[in-house]
Structure 1
Amino acid sequence: MKKRLLAGPIVLVLGAALTVVPAATAQSAAKPYTLWYDEPAPDTNAGWEERSLPIGNGAMGATVFGGVQAERLQFNDKTLWTGGPGVADYTYGNWDAPRPGALEAIRQRIWNEGGISPNDVLASLGLKSDTPRHRRFGAYQSFGDLRLTFPGLTGAPADYRRELDIARGVAGVSFTAGGVRHTREYFASAPAGVIVARLAADRPGGLTFTAGIAVPANRSATATAAGGRATVKGALTSNGMRYEAQVRVLGQGGTRTDNPDGTVTLTGADSALLILGTGTDYAADYPAYKGDDPHAALTARVDAAAALGYARLRHGHLTDHGRLFDRVRLDLGGSLPGDPTDDLLARYGKDAAPAADRALEQLFYQYGRYLLIASSRPGSLPANLQGVWNVSEAPPWQSDYHLNINLQMNYWPAEMTGLAELAQPLHAYVGGLREPGRVTAGQMYGADGWVAHHASNIFGHTGAWDHPAYFFPESGAWLSLQLYDHYRFTLDENYLKRTAYPVMKEAAQFWLDFLQTDPRDGRLVAIPSRSPEIGPTTAGAAMSQQILWALFTDLREAAGLVGDGEYATRAARVLARLDPGLRVGKWGQLQEWKEDIDDPAETHRHVSHLFAVHPGRQISPRTTPELAQAAKVSLNARTDAGTGWSKAWKINFWARLLDGDRAHKLLSDQLQTSTLANLWDTHPPFQIDGNFGATSGMTEMLLQSHLGTVDLLPALPASWADGRVSGLRARGAHTVDLTWASGRLSEARLTAGKSGPVEVRNAAFRGGVRITGERGGPVVHTRDGDTVTFQARPGAVYRIVAVR
């Protein structure tokens, strides 16, 4: 049973104008894109993970607990990391000393024995698990807490509400205490680069509080207060990284006092504006990753935000956030009841309330888009394992960049759901791995090009991790594919030439050196090779080969587009000899290894050998039905169980396999067993890729374009019989709006992004189709079964209706 006692800590999110709904009217005022709760989050790590509400501007993040007598804004800055070049003997993950012949010895053992222990691979490479190496790698850090105390608030408040409006990017808390209505509104402004809060009381002079910044103990810290500005600065003990946080307290009425302990008190005010900013001396510049002291730039940023004032900060934030969030609208026929979000989640799938269940799915879908808007903006580092939010000095998996699926999954929804520019941090980060990755390629493998392994930090860690589960040099190749897919969605030729193609070409150069000829069949294979986190180390594991097939296929196409005939030819020659990693095994499965050794009882969460289904494009029921059936056999053997991100990947798999009901079943499982009360995904613990993967999978159920055809409602589940969606993006730079009823497409509107032929598919087109242009005139087209083709003009809108 939930406690209704509201005295306790609160996390403050510094914010935008929020329309606060009193509890008395909450039942009639449910907003479709709002998470809300009738109690604070507990001021514990579990409370942070399960119930706090996140805001962010890409570079900074904060979480709202919603306490009454005491508020705590736990905040982050993505550049605050331990480890790296400031630590003695940091090696970027490379060998401390060369080991000539090590790679050749591993390969010979694999050829002789067929498969060897991953531990033997690490031992041969001179890598073993040791605490110093982990310490040198470092971890993402909690920056600190903005603590607010309200001495005049006593007793239990009434009409309490804590909420996060994801459509506006605004969080808030409201309650009545001592006959005074208190409201707190919070947002993270990307245009201003700060977190903003407005605190108010509806009785003149009814607001009194003290604000101060607290930081963890793993750093030096000096706290001062002057002119209403509280400042804490110092350096991390681990690597000497300089950091600074400032909060300015601006009161409407009342008296402000700067305290000797570095806090600021505002007494008897009507309202207050707080502006929080952070900075470090990190710079994304290999090999030192060191920039200027943050003080001057931070002070200027905080003061510029203060000069704007609340109204302009709010307007700038709402305009900026809405420009992104409003691009996609999804209506599955859901209707939110006036119940707190945690209660709605607890009842999901249990009370035969389809309207409420569909409403939660709509909210969950848009929440994934919201989290990407909040944790990834151009100019910032990419979203990490927890986006931008982290409460710990020793977070799970260092809250790092896992490159063997998790970072990639973070950006799966970006292109499809109208947020393409939010992938810029990923593209810049991958580009930044090339320079250290060249060193790793040369030192560890004697190869040209660049390489990265399973995990990285913000300090160019491209070497192998010292854990047997995590040998994965294919990471750089996979990341390169994600960059090329951005081109396929946008058709931005300048981006292709300047950003994507150089990364792809140099990644391929590594594999041109690394690939070996399998003496058994003459095919090119990766060796050593392993399916992530499972099985032996072999030659030509399926996932490795599928990733490399995609890399050289994309490279051949991209080289032709940029006029690099030499590499188009080289890619074609590799593809002619490359083992594709596609085999059907003895129990009908898609083989995970080149050898037929798959265990039908294995239920590991990784189903990596289905890369060719998603995000790859080698396998589809439309092009390779036999292989698609084998993929289904493998998926069924692994079962629908798994961690949050694993369930999310399986949603995408089943959508690509055109089974909408199975994809929806996985979505339901994720909501019921892998989603926390604040709708964060849990591995466990909290890991944000499951949120992003679920939004991607839901989109794949509604629209696919990876095969070159715009496929409308390819995996529509029975539960979504009626609905509409607008603003989805398809490869070819097209924008698509869809409306359907009783499981049948009613209308599609396609805004063309290029001139030339466009192929569109839907099962209803078998009975005929009518296409009209912007002025209502008929558009000439051809039809082949369920696919129609017509000539498009850039920017033109086409209405496509199936003829009954």
Structure 2
Amino acid sequence: MRSIKTSINPSKIIFGLFLLLGFTVSSFNAVAQQLLKLHYDKPAQNWNEALPLGNGRLGLMAFGNPEREHLQLNEETVWAGEPGNNVPANTSSQINEIRNLLFQGKNQQAQNLSNQTFPRQAPADLNYGMPYQTVGDLWITFPGHQNYSNYYRDLDISNATSTVSYQVNHTTFTRKVFASLTDDVIVMKITADKPNSINFTLGLSSTQKDHQVKNDGSYLQLSGNSGSVDNKKGKIKFEALVSPVVQGGLVNKTDSSITVSQANSVIFYISIATNFKNYKDLTAEPLVKAKSILNKAIAKKYEEALAAHQKKYQSFFNRVTLELGDSEQSKKTTDVRVREFADHKDPQLVALYFQFGRYLLISSSQPGGQPANLQGIWNDKNSPPWDSKYTVNINTEMNYWPAEITNLSEMHEPLFSMLKDLATTGKESASQMYHARGWNMHHNTDLWRITGIVDGGFYGMWPMGGAWLTQHLWQHYLFTGDDKFLRENYPILKGAAMFYLDVLKEEPRTKWLVMAPSMSPENTYEKNVGVAAGTTMDNQLIFDTFNNLINAAKILKTDGSFSDSVSTALAKMPP
């Protein structure tokens, strides 16, 4: 059996041991010996083949085309819409009737009423959440670079950088790009092994309807506004600034582009900011913020900036290494290894895949920012699949399952921050839809922390999102033993438990307390019927919510009477 080497305290990785099938633990000392690179011998032909980089707030997909480099840009708060919840009015009586129909065994009628009460498409005065959207695209066109040789492209997940190199007319060109964790900008350096060889034109574009590109003299500027969807107007304003620092050569500027000729090297700095402060406050000054970040970054030496970024990244990444052995397959490009994996022994690809998951979490979820959404922070569309929201009937939870067990606790913090917001907005759905105390949410949320039903009365009738998400708070406590954290987040646990304490109803036949109406997510048990009473999944989630509350109250020596009430309800739930 191969070993996993880590600097984690053994008491903090018990669940990781189960996940990693009992691999042994020791100090980290071998990451340099591993091939922790995704590497290719051709440019990306589409967005899915581009390479993701990010610093939690900013994301980019690097395509690596010699003739025309393409960096697709994201900022974590560029979402359609504006502040506001999506709780439907006057639905509590229908929810009660759906429950009554289920208790009478009239399941199809219950589903019909659920569909009628919550239509598949959002009514004119409502919305089913907003999509995460793209900022735009940076294009760097290199004349004469369509005929190239000795091409190489990689994503080095040991230091969070991507490199492209190739030859044109016996000159080797190299590009290195990273999303700085320390300076909060995207940086790309272009070099050539012969002087005065770098020639290009720089441009910006966006698929946002409301945008403009202009040259401000010291930088190229993309200004834009997010989109309007359903009953919400797009009110996120963003600014993207690109400043090339040129060593040697000539610089010419037009209204919307920059051309560089005969340079020795160029360093691009990309700064992006929005007017977002929090889910209910859009009063930040995006241009002021973007300029401030940009100027501070440019003032640093490139080598120092790169070293600082790598040091911070490796302070997270280097905590764990997984060694499973190697084979000749690791010498091949990553696309070939993936294609041949079923028929060739390639244990190192498994280790690379494991570490790639950790890399993505580090790159898309940093303290002080937003949680990783359905696509992390990487998205080239204004209407992406499933809106690239937070789908909390498993996907958001899956994003964060590795956080504690692979020693990335800090990456969990954005999810905890969102939970604090949801524990506030979720009071609206709890009180208005269910006449309950506490807070709840259904199976989706977004930047605006919506908690109402999304996608109608079949997929959306699942008031269990808060129960599942609060497990992450408890798991974090189990791994860290941080009593201060538990005390700070105890109100969130209590609010979730309070909601279920109020909404659980006695099922007439068994006399058990059950959640109704709800469903087993995206499943049916009769033809076209998903809405149900007392699903096994709900029972387990509520069981965990109640037990976590009871244990937390005991540890903190608080809420004895409330804890007793929860214990009484727990004893009446299905075994």
| Residue 567 (structure 1) aligned with residue 558 (structure 2) | no
Against the structure 1 CA distance between its residues 135 and 93, is the aligned structure 2 distance closer, same or farther, given a 3 Å change threshold? closer
The answer to whether the 8 A contact 1:141-1:390 is kept is yes
How big is the shift at 1:114? 5.3
1:41-440 equivalence runs, <5 A: 41-42=44-45, 47-49=46-48, 51-85=49-83, 92-95=85-88, 97-99=89-91, 101-113=93-105, 115-116=107-108, 119-123=111-115, 125-130=117-122, 132=124, 137-151=129-143, 153-227=144-218, 229-238=219-228, 239-261=234-256, 263-285=257-279, 288-335=280-327, 336-351=329-344, 354=345, 357-440=346-429
Listed as ranges, the matches of 1:553-592 within 5 Å are 553-564=547-558, 565-580=560-575
Which residues in structure 2 correspond to 1:730-749 (within 5 Å)? none
Q: SS of the counterpart of 1:534?
A: coil
- 1:78, distance to aligned residue in structure 2 (A): 1.2
CA contact (8 A) 1:384 1:407 kept: yes
1:122 Cα deviation (Å)?
2.5
Matched, 1:512 2:501: yes
Contact 1:334 1:362 in 2 (8 A): no
Task: Count matched residues.
Answer: 531
Conserved? CA contact 1:452–1:463, under 8 Å: yes
How far 1:168 sits from its partner (Å)?
0.6
Q: 1:106 to 1:65 in 2, by over 3 A?
A: same
Flag structure 2 segments of 5+ consecutive residues without an equivalent.
1-31, 229-233, 525-529
Task: Name the CA shift for 1:56/1:117 in 2 (closer, same or farther; >3 Å).
Answer: farther
> Which residue identity lines up with residue 523 of structure 2 in the other structure?
I
Counterpart position of 1:38: 41
Q: By how many angstroms is 1:119 displaced?
A: 4.1
* Shift of residue 173, structure 1, vs aligned partner: 0.4
One-letter amino acid of the counterpart of residue 369, structure 1: R
Kindly state the Cα deviation for residue 279 of structure 1 after the two structures are TM-superposed.
Answer: 1.1
Q: CA deviation at 1:291?
A: 2.5
DSSP 3-state at the match of 1:532: coil
In the aligned structure 2, how far is the partner of 1:121 from the partner of 1:456?
Answer: 24
Assess if the C-alpha contact under 8 Å between 1:527 and 1:538 holds in 2.
yes
Cα–Cα, structure 1 residues 548 and 342, in superposed 2: closer, same or farther, change >3 Å?
A: same
Amino acid in the other structure paired with 1:415? E
Question: Residues of 2 paired with 1:125 and 1:502: CA distance?
Answer: 32
2:308 partner letter: G
Q: Report the CA distance shift for 1:234/1:347 in structure 2 as closer, same or farther (over 3 A).
A: closer
Letter aligned with residue 309 of structure 1: K
Aligned-pair CA distance for 1:76: 0.5
What SS does the aligned partner of 2:312 have? helix
Structure 2 CA distance for aligned equivalents of residues 136 and 226 of structure 1 = 42
How many Å apart are 1:117 and its aligned residue? 5.9
The alignment's TM-score, normalised by the length of structure 2, stands at 0.89
1:652 matched residue in structure 2: none
Distance across 1 between alignment mates of 2:494 and 2:510: 27
Q: For the structure 1 residues 118 and 327, does the alpha-carbon distance in structure 2 shift closer, same or farther, using more than 3 Å as the test?
A: farther
1:568, CA displacement in angstroms? 2.6
Cα distance change of structure 1 residues 237 and 342 upon mapping to structure 2, 3 Å threshold:
closer
1:471 aligns with 2:457: no
Contact between 2:185 and 2:294, CA under 8 Å: does it hold in 1? yes
**Corresponding position of 2:533:** 539
- Check conservation: 2:330, 2:349, Cα contact below 8 A: no
Q: Matched residues in 2 for 1:161 and 1:71: separation?
A: 14
Describe the SS at the equivalent of 1:386: coil
**Alignment check: 8 A CA contact 2:161 2:176 kept:** yes
Distance in 2 separating the partners of 1:134 and 1:184: 47
Structure-1 separation of matches of 2:159 and 2:91: 55
Task: Find the aligned partners of 2:409 and 2:502 in 1 and give their Cα distance.
Answer: 33
Counterpart of 2:392, as a letter, is L
In 2: Cα distance, 1:217 partner to 1:391 partner: 11
TM-aligned CA distance change 1:433 to 1:100, over 3 Å: closer
- The 3 A distance-change label for structure 1 pair 100 and 119 is closer
Q: Rate the CA distance shift 1:560–1:240 in 2: closer, same or farther, 3 A.
A: same
Q: Deviations over 1:51-85 (max 9, x none)?
A: 11110000111011110111110010110011233
How far the C-alpha of 1:254 sits from its partner, in A, is 1.4
Alpha-carbon distance in structure 1 between the residues aligned to 2:109 and 2:459: 10
CA shift for structure 1 position 481: 1.1
Where 1:367 maps in the other structure, the secondary structure is helix
8 Å contact from structure 2 (residues 92, 435) kept in 1:
no
CA distance in 2, matches of 1:546, 1:514: 16
Could you give the per-residue CA deviations for residues 337-378 of structure 1, whole angstroms, max 9, x where no partner exists? 321100111111213xx2xx1011010010000000111000
Distance 1:217 1:482 in 2: 35
Measure, in 1, the Cα distance between the counterparts of 2:400 and 2:359. 13
What CA distance in whole angstroms lies between the structure 2 residues aligned with 1:283 and 1:307? Answer: 26
- The 1:418–1:113 alpha-carbon spacing in structure 2 relative to 1, beyond 3 Å, is same
Alignment of 1:478-493 (within 5 A): 478-493=468-483
The CA distance in 1 between the partners of 2:227 and 2:377, in whole Å, is 22
Q: Secondary structure at the match of 2:485?
A: helix
- Cα shift readout 1:599-624 (whole Å, capped 9, x = no counterpart): xxxxxxxxxxxxxxxxxxxxxxxxxx
The one-letter amino acid of 1:224's match is N
The Cα shift of 1:334 comes to 2.3
The code of the aligned residue for 2:197 comes to G
Q: Contact between 2:92 and 2:432, CA under 8 Å: does it hold in 1? A: no
The residue type paired with residue 42 of structure 2 is E
Q: Does 1 or 2 have the higher relative contact order (CA < 8 Å, sep 6+)?
A: 2
Instruction: In structure 2, give the amino acid aligned to 1:346.
Output: R
Quote how far apart the aligned CAs of 1:137 are.
Answer: 2.4
Give, as a single letter, the amino acid of the residue that structure 2 aligns with 1:79.
Answer: T
- Aligned residues of 1:106 and 1:528 also touching (Cα < 8 A): yes
Matched residue SS, 1:426: helix
Q: Deviations over 1:560-618 (max 9, x none)?
A: 011112233222212211224xxxxxxxxxxxxxxxxxxxxxxxxxxxxxxxxxxxxxx
Per-residue Cα deviation, 1:636-661 (whole angstroms, up to 9, x for no partner): xxxxxxxxxxxxxxxxxxxxxxxxxx
CA contact (8 A) 1:117 1:537 kept: no
CA contact (8 A) 1:30 1:337 kept: no
Shift of the 478–217 alpha-carbon distance from structure 1 to 2, 3 Å rule, reads closer
Residue aligning to 2:4:
none
2:447 maps to which of 458, 476, 492: 458
CA contact (8 A) 2:66 2:146 kept: no
| Structure 2: distance between partners of 1:185 and 1:178 | 21
Aligned to 1:552: 546
Match of 2:9 in 1: none
Sequence identity of aligned pairs in percent?
34
User: What is the TM-score when the length of structure 1 is the normalising length?
Assistant: 0.64
Q: Which amino acid aligns with 2:482?
A: D
Secondary structure in structure 1 of the residue aligned to 2:342: coil
Q: CA shift at 1:265, angstroms?
A: 1.9
Cα 1:149–1:135 change in 2 (3 A) is: farther
Distance apart, 1:205 and its partner CA: 0.9
Post-superposition shift, 1:266? Answer: 1.9
1:54 alignment partner, SS class: strand
